[in-house]
Structure 1
C-alpha cells in the first residue's frame, strides 16, 4: 500500500514540476545589444554646444530619467543619452513622451523637445517612435 502511495506521490510531483507559469509576454528571444537614444544640442550651424541644466523627464510618470550608458561612452559636446535599455521597464509598450530640456551656456536660452519612446515589461529593447534628434539654438 505504501508503495502505491509513494509512486502516486512521485508521479504527482513530476507532473507538478513540469508545469510552467504562464507568461503574459509569450516566448521572448532578445538580442544581447544594449540600445540607447542620443540627442544633440547644436548652434545654428550644426556644431555641438555646451549646455547646462539638461534633463529628460517621462511625462507620463514625472520621473527624471537617469541612464547608465553615459559613464562608458565619450560623447561629443552637446550630445546626451536620453534613455537606454536600463530604463526599459519604466516605459509603456504604447510609448511615453520624454521631455528633453537644456539651456545653452553662451546665451542662457532654454529649449525643449518631446521624444516618444516605447519599452515595457515584454519588450527586449527601447525604441524611438517619434521626435527630433537635434535642437538648434539661435
Structure 2
C-alpha cells in the first residue's frame, strides 16, 4: 500500500512539473549558442584616430528610453569605441528591430554627432543583431 501511495505521489509531482514548464516557456524550444553578442560604435577625429567622447548616449526611438549596455561598465575599451547594446539588452528591443539614436560629443572640438542604428532583440531571441547603421562616427 505504501508503494502505491509513493508511486501516485511521484507521478503527480512529475505531471505538475511538466505542466509548469510548458506554461512558462512562451518561446518554444530553441537552441542558442553560448556566445555573447554586442554592437559597438567608434567615434573618430578628422584624421581617423579614436576620439575622446563625452556625453555618450543611446536612446531607443520606439520607447524613448535610454539604453545602457551592461558589459560597457566592466569593459576597458579603445579610445572612441563604445558598446551600444549587448545580449543583456535583448528584452529592451523588439523582434522587428528598433532604431537606436547614438549621440556623443567630442572633447576636443565640442562638436556633437548622432547616428541611428537598427538592432533586433526580443525576449525570445537568442542574441541581438544589428540590421543597419554606421559602424563609425567622424567628427570634423
* Shorter-chain TM-score tier: 0.7 to 0.9
> How big is each residue's C-alpha offset from its partner over 1:20-73, in whole Å with a ceiling of 9 and x where there is no partner?
525432201111111111100001222101011110111111111112212332
Q: Shift in Å at residue 81 of structure 1?
A: 0.4
Residue in 2 aligned with 1:108? 110
The question of 1:32 aligning with 2:34 is answered: yes
Distance of 1:18 and 1:104 partners within structure 2: 55
Residue in 2 aligned with 1:21? 22
Residue in 1 aligned with 2:128? 126
**Cα separation, partners in 2 of 1:114 and 1:11, compared to 1, 3 Å:** same
Distance of 1:116 and 1:18 partners within structure 2: 38
> How big is each residue's C-alpha offset from its partner over 1:54-106, in whole Å with a ceiling of 9 and x where there is no partner?
10111111111112212332211111000011111110000000000011111
Residue in 2 aligned with 1:3? none
Unaligned runs of 5+ in 1: 1-5
Q: Shift in Å at residue 12 of structure 1?
A: 7.9
Residue in 1 aligned with 2:92? 90
For 1:65, which of 64, 67, 70 is the aligned residue? 67
Q: How many residues align?
A: 136
TM-score by length of 2: 0.84
> How much is the aligned-residue C-alpha RMSD, in angstroms?
2.4
Secondary structure class of the residue paired with 1:44:
coil
Over alpha carbons, which structure has the higher Rg?
1
TM-score by length of 1: 0.85
